[in-house]
Structure 1
Amino acid sequence: MVGNTSSVKWLSGRPGIGEYRINWGPGIRLYLMQDGDELIILLCAGDKSTQDKDLDNTEKYCRCYLEEKRSK
């Protein structure tokens, strides 16, 4: 079960991708997706200055995850 995801902001411009903010240093953003009852951390994080690039990479990782899952 996923549990409480109230701290995750689901991004309207990037369907299926959520952002979890960590208030440390410049403000770290951790990107994730939900797959059924699991949260999948997409190993892509950064701060506000790299957000657009990080989100582009996050979308690629999301697609790769789903393709890999389908191929099994």
Structure 2
Amino acid sequence: MPTEPYRIAYYTDEQGNKPFREWLQGLRDQIAAVRIRARLTRVKAGNFGPVRNVGEGVVELKIDHGPGYRVYYAIDAGTIILLLCGGHKRTQQRDVEIAQRFWKNHQEQRK
């Protein structure tokens, strides 16, 4: 059986928090949570679907459900999808800035 080309990982801050995982687990809309998990399964297999580069190495996945959920990630070491944070259309600009900060922090931690 072939292995999946990508591995999913969660960004972890200095206190050990995993913002994306906490956001996903806290969603009240369980249908949205299922759709997001299904989309991430496809991403893991290399099927990214529509994505948008939002700058500084961060990419946005759009989830076509509810208020327009967004998942922000970066590709680390070529094969790791590092899930940074999630949000929706109304908080998009703030979420992009947070994701970019998380990605920069992750890169600095690895030095």
Is the structural similarity TM-score above 0.5?
yes
Structure 1 unpaired stretches of 5+: none
The CA deviation at 1:23 is 1.6
Q: Deviations over 1:3-40 (max 9, x none)?
A: 222333223xx131111111221010010001111111
TM-score normalized with structure 1 length: 0.79
TM-score normalized with structure 2 length: 0.54
Count of matched residue pairs: 67
The correspondence for 1:38, drawn from 80, 83, 103, is 80
Structure with higher strand content:
1
Q: Between the two proteins, what is the percent identity of the paired residues?
A: 31
Structure 2 unpaired stretches of 5+: 7-45
CA RMSD in angstroms comes to 1.4
Question: Partner amino acid for 1:56?
Answer: E
Moved over 6 A (4+): none
Higher RCO (C-alpha 8 Å, min separation 6): 2
Instruction: Work out which of the two has the higher radius of gyration on C-alpha atoms and give 1 or 2.
Output: 2
